[in-house]
Amino acid sequence: MAKAARGNAAGRCTVKTSGDSSNAYEVAPDTPISLEAQDDSKTTDTPPCILLVEDSPTTLRLLSKPLSERYSLLTARNGTVAWELLQTHPEIELVITDIIMPGLSGHEVLIKIRSSDSLQIRSLPVIVIAGVADSDDRDLAFRNGANDFITKPIDAAELQARVRVHHKLARTIHELEASRRALAEQATTDPLTRLKNRRAFYQESKHGLALSLRNNTPMSLMLLDLDHFKEINDTYGHQAGDKVLIAIAGLLKRMSRAVDTVARVGGEEFAIVLPGTGRDGAIVLAERIRTTIEKAPFQAHGEPLTLTMSIGVATYDTDPPDTIDELLKLADRRLYTAKKEGRNRVCATGDTASPA
């Protein structure tokens, strides 16, 4: 029973715009919405790739053998080739470089690596190998950002041990950075719809208003609440309700511009920040969203299902408030007015006084 509604709610909601659709608010063709979590963790069994830069064929041969036992090894006979390989092989996880070579020296390769535009290249661990134990070379290498410095003759076991340590450390740093990014994303994302959450919406609105105040440009806030959504849950089940929320989120995202922030700020309540958009522009978008949702061919049990939304809009520059909290309160009062006046409507004017 609820199954039919679930499949149809997200899968068959093909949405058309009404009237003029010649601007950024045009709705793109519907695409399937997946609830599957994305797994972007590295699940590779291939050995880590390292780059060995050395002009001496003897040393190259000597080091290649032990390194190839554990690593996928790329080699370059001079710094110029090494730099080209770094651009085309993002799988490289560590660099070992000689200093004295024709063309770019090891010091120059290191400087290029550490000042690269690419974070991946910039943060590569680099082990410098030198022909003689020269303390100036060693100091310069470390000043330029080398992670380690080894002098010839090189003991293969020692090199392997150092490579292992630096590679492991680099991987740990990457993993920490990835989990920091994931946590930061979690803190601002609604897990069901992948839209921004209430907290991120509030931050974005505050930031947008600060820019508007400084640049003397308008900014609108829109609060959107599904009408009688409880009935969807009651009739078709909570999971069908969830699918509807996901479909609505996708639709709102596609109808807004890249600079707008679309958020889910409550159970069946959404919000959009519209930087640079005045009242008229916000009303055009709100009406377009309202009619698009009203016409969207949701189906449950093979029967057409009509959904509607009520929308409250407040605009900095047309409306009196110049703080985000007051603007949000105003948008909320207008949303309440839209509900009271019969739902499925946009309220963007009036009601500017706070209730006593």
Q: Which residues are catalytic?
A: 268
Is 100 a residue that touches Mg ion (CB under 5 A)?
yes
As measured in angstroms, the least distance from the Cβ of 187 to ligand GH3 is 19
Q: Which two tokens stand for residue 27?
A: 């709705």
Query: Rounded CA gap, 97 and 52, in Å?
Result: 6
As measured in angstroms, the least distance from the Cβ of 227 to Mg ion is 6
What residue type is assigned to position 296 of the chain?
A
Contact partner, 98, from ligand GH3, Mg ion, none, Cβ < 5-8 Å per class:
Mg ion
**Residues binding ligand GH3 (CB under 6 A):** 192, 225-230, 233, 238, 241-242, 245, 267-268, 339, 343
3-state SS of 274-317 is: EECCCHHHHHHHHHHHHHHHHHCCEEECCEEECCCEEEEEEEEC
- Residue whose CB is less far from ligand GH3, 163 or 223: 223
Query: Rounded CA gap, 41 and 274, in Å?
Result: 34
Stretch that binds Mg ion, among 163-171, 229-237, 257-265, 326-334 (CB under 5 A): 229-237
In sequence order, the 6+-apart residues with CB closer than 8 A to the CB of 263 are 190, 195, 196, 197, 198, 200, 201, 204, 270, 271, 272, 273
Contact partner, 332, from ligand GH3, Mg ion, none, Cβ < 5-8 Å per class:
none
- Residue whose CB is less far from Mg ion, 209 or 263: 263
- Residue whose CB is less far from Mg ion, 55 or 287: 55
Contact partner, 137, from Mg ion, ligand GH3, none, Cβ < 5-8 Å per class:
none
> From the list 8, 53, 71, 98, which residue makes contact with Mg ion (rule: CB under 5 A)?
98
Q: 324-345 burial, b if ≥16 CB within 10 A, otherwise e? A: bebbbebbbbbbbbbbeeeebb
Residue 319 bridge partners (DSSP):
316
Contact partner, 30, from Mg ion, ligand GH3, none, Cβ < 5-8 Å per class:
none
Indicate left, alpha or beta for 256 from its phi (over 0: left) and psi (-120 to 50: alpha): beta
Is 326 a residue that touches Mg ion (CB under 5 A)?
no
- Residue whose CB is less far from ligand GH3, 47 or 266: 266
Binding site for Mg ion (CB under 5 A): 55, 98, 100-101, 225-226, 229, 268-269
